[in-house]
């Protein structure tokens, strides 16, 4: 097991970035009920990696997973594509954002990025600075892949009594759309923070045939239904059916867990490390903050990139 230290926000992270960039001009999407005739897609070229640091502070290096360097890595800014479609599984319009290396994502494997509670697909890209971090990681030698994030609401990434089912959306709607766009979806990685960190571990447990690697920052988990956040689960039965703590690692899945020692989920993250025996983890200084999640992201991208490369 590798205990990889996490850099504070704005620090040099494993040689990937001199400062994380927060994309501006992103906000909450506004899903509405109803059905549309077709998906709506827009594309943009993201700014080049680097830029304003997310926060001042001293640095500790982030350990990056060793991977075979791509012989001809794509050079240039990320290609960011935003698609809006009507999700039957979620019963509303949702937004999906794909961030691919220069040249696009055709033929590349995929890492799903699951956002935290109160965020959405557009905010997820800006919160982590994915449009800067992905080309930086690939430029540093990580085998190319695309990252995809989608609106998951507040359902904690599983089917709810209301009928809202973000898990089915991923499996039955997002995955086929990505395959139709030419991306490789037979095996995927998944990454997330807070609610999305829990969602990443849950998707890996429930679908180890699909998920090759799961990286979770500050995963929002509780030891009992009574201790869980209001609205996270429908009932004690729902909680028990979707628990992570106390379960064994899913076969064939590589895990990475990051959580700051001042995070309210630090204790359950330590338990998750003991239960899931992740190949990499960091439980050093930090809190339940976007700055911490941004600082952890470069090492997480290297980790999932290595796993996707091995599974190719």
Q: Which pLDDT value is given to residue 9?
A: 29
Confidence at residue 71, expressed as pLDDT on a 0 to 100 scale: 56
Out of 1.10.8.50, 1.10.10.10, 3.30.43.10, 3.40.50.1820, the CATH code matching 68-311 is 3.40.50.1820
The C-alpha atoms of residue 242 and residue 203 are separated, in whole angstroms, by 10
pLDDT at 42: 52
pLDDT recorded at residue 137: 96
Pairing outcome for strands 40-45 and 2-3: unpaired
pLDDT of residue 312: 86
Alpha-carbon distance values, 65 to 82, 305, 310 (Å): 29, 8, 12
Q: What is the pTM of this model?
A: 0.80
Among candidate residues 112, 300, 67, the one with its CA nearest the CA of residue 210: 112
Q: Do the Cβ atoms of 103 and 74 come closer than 8 Å?
A: yes
pLDDT along the chain (312 residues), means of 10: 35 29 30 33 42 28 46 79 97 97 93 97 96 96 97 97 97 97 97 98 98 98 97 98 97 98 98 98 97 97 97 90
State the pLDDT at residue 75.
Answer: 74
Region class of 300: left (phi > 0), else alpha (psi between -120 and 50), else beta: alpha
Sheet strands (E) in 162-253: 184-193, 211-217
Residue 29: Cβ-neighbour burial (10 angstroms; 0-12, 13-18, 19+): middle
Q: Round to whole Å and give the CA distance between 63 and 263.
A: 21
pLDDT for position 55:
30
């Amino acid at each position: 097991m590798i205990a990889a230290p996490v850099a504070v926000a704005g620090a040099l992270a494993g040689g990937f970035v001199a400062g994380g960039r927060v994309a501006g001009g992103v906000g909450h999407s506004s899903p509405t009920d109803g059905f549309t005739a077709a998906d709506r897609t827009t594309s943009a070229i993201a700014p080049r990696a680097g830029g304003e640091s997310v926060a001042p502070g001293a640095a500790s290096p982030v350990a990056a997973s060793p991977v075979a360097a791509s012989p001809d890595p794509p050079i240039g800014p990320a290609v960011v594509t935003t698609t809006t479609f009507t999700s039957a599984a979620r019963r509303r319009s949702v937004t999906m954002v794909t961030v691919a290396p220069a040249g696009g994502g055709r033929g590349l494997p995929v890492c799903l990025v699951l956002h935290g509670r109160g965020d959405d697909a557009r905010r997820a890209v800006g919160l982590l600075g994915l449009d800067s971090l992905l080309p930086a990681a690939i430029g540093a030698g990580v085998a190319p892949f695309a990252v995809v994030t989608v609106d998951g609401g507040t359902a904690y990434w599983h089917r709810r009594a209301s009928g809202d089912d973000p898990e089915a959306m991923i499996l039955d709607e997002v995955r086929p759309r990505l395959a139709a766009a030419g991306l490789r979806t037979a095996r995927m990685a998944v990454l997330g923070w807070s609610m999305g960190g829990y969602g990443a571990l849950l998707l890996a447990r429930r679908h180890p045939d699909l998920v090759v690697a799961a990286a979770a920052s500050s995963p929002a988990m509780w030891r009992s239904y009574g201790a869980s956040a209001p609205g996270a689960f429908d009932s004690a039965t729902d909680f028990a059916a979707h628990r992570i703590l106390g379960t064994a690692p899913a076969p064939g899945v590589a895990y990475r867990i990051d959580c700051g020692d001042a995070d309210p989920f630090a204790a359950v993250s330590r338990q998750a490390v003991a239960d899931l025996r992740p190949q990499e983890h960091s439980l050093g200084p930090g809190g339940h903050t976007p700055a911490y999640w941004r600082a952890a992201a470069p090492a997480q991208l290297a980790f999932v990139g290595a796993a996707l490369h091995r599974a190719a």
